[in-house]
Structure 1
């Protein structure tokens, strides 16, 4: 089993900029802090830290030589600032998930919102809050969370597949069909060969009574995976009853 990705901690990046003009021009050093992970022997990833010292925003991949030449390790910063902030963030998400599992939607909402105050782009907290609003049927708030998730490519990554699937099911079961279709289509823009997404999309179309779209997505799921038993049974039912 691979040891990658491997968390390296916080690194700084120093860039020099010229301030002023002519004889008054001065060199100014700008220091920014980044969360670094090693993805493989030769590939590294950096992500900027936000004002709360946690990684948030666009991730950038670098080759080993570029990373080692440009970035400087900051173990003290990582230990004093980022580790405590990440622990607090993780704790808030865990408390929100526990409250949600216990059916306490108000407490779950409160904890997820506290987590998002630390990192408004945190995938787990956004998924959790989305499930809360899906259950509460608070459509405008749900739409805002969905908009946020749609702008986070990592929300559709394999790493978050379990929560991706759970949220999609929640949207469908709570009757948020249009939001569910939008959600699954976004996923297919990023990865278009996942038979499970086509199957789940077919179920949404079935609930909406859009039989042609339902059958089309089931057929696509079976083109990708001909041995997909659930899709076979669903398609057989559709062809018999439509």
Structure 2
């Protein structure tokens, strides 16, 4: 099996114990701080760590460590992982799956409730926030949508290659529902992180087209075709926009 198929690999939950001196002089005492981390091995040398929240699921900023250093400092917690994290992750996934099922059936209120329950476990969960964002887009509930957009724009993970499909679908849904400025803002944020994704450029160009900004649309499409000269759909779109500018 190749390394590409082996990694990333879930290592489980590990604890980190650190002693800290509190106070000064005669009142000084030493306290031990114990934190729990979810670990994934990325390759032969690197590990990705994410802290567990109060509900025992990985949440928040991820960091990387050298595998050898990680093994020296962190202690495996297999019982904690099996008793707490695995059931919590299953519950979280079930709520997200339920929300996506309800959404696909057009049951927006039920989908909203399911995604909100997922966010009670992990408020910065990317799929749950995307799901809730789709619900509010369909409902045309701008105030709630704006709050979700603010959360997503603050999550770099939301723009990672792992969520590439959700990213593009969400931005497209914003455009289709008439939230053109929000769609532009969202796709521009995505391009700060995914600078070489021709599909994001293409979808951004579509928004400018809907705004009647044909020259800007063509300029963005030219970037997409530079990144991928075989992007036939983008080239056809450029030809269409050029005809629009002549009229």
Alignment of 1:146-185 (within 5 A): 146-185=149-188
* Aligned equivalent of 1:59: 62
Whole-angstrom distance in 2 between the partners of 1:58 and 1:140: 27
Are 1:46 and 2:43 matched, yes or no?
Answer: no
Q: Which residue of 2 aligns with 1:114?
A: 117
Counterpart Cα distance in 1 of 2:103 and 2:182: 21
Residue number in structure 2 paired with 1:191: 194
Q: How many residues align?
A: 242
Rounded Cα–Cα distance in structure 1 between residues aligned with 2:5 and 2:101:
31
**Please, what is the CA RMSD of the aligned residues?**
0.9
Structure 1 runs of 4+ with >6 Å offset: none
Give 1:93's match in structure 2, choosing from 96, 108, 122: 96
2:233 aligned to which of 217, 230, 234: 230
Give the distance between the partners of 1:7 and 1:109, measured in 2 at CA.
30
Does the 8 Å contact 2:52/2:58 carry over to 1?
yes
Q: CA deviation at 1:54?
A: 0.5
Post-superposition offset of 1:24:
2.7
**TM-score under structure 1 length normalisation:** 0.98
Aligned to 1:74: 77
- 1:21 and 1:115 mapped to 2: Cα distance? 44
- The offset of 1:65, in angstroms, is 1.7
Counterpart of 1:126 in structure 2 is 129
Matched, 1:217 2:220: yes
**Aligned equivalents of 1:178, 1:45: Cα separation in 2:** 35
- Structure 2: gaps spanning 5 or more residues: none
Corresponding residue SS for 2:34: strand
| Structure 1 residues not aligned, in runs of 5+ | none
SS at match of 2:50: strand
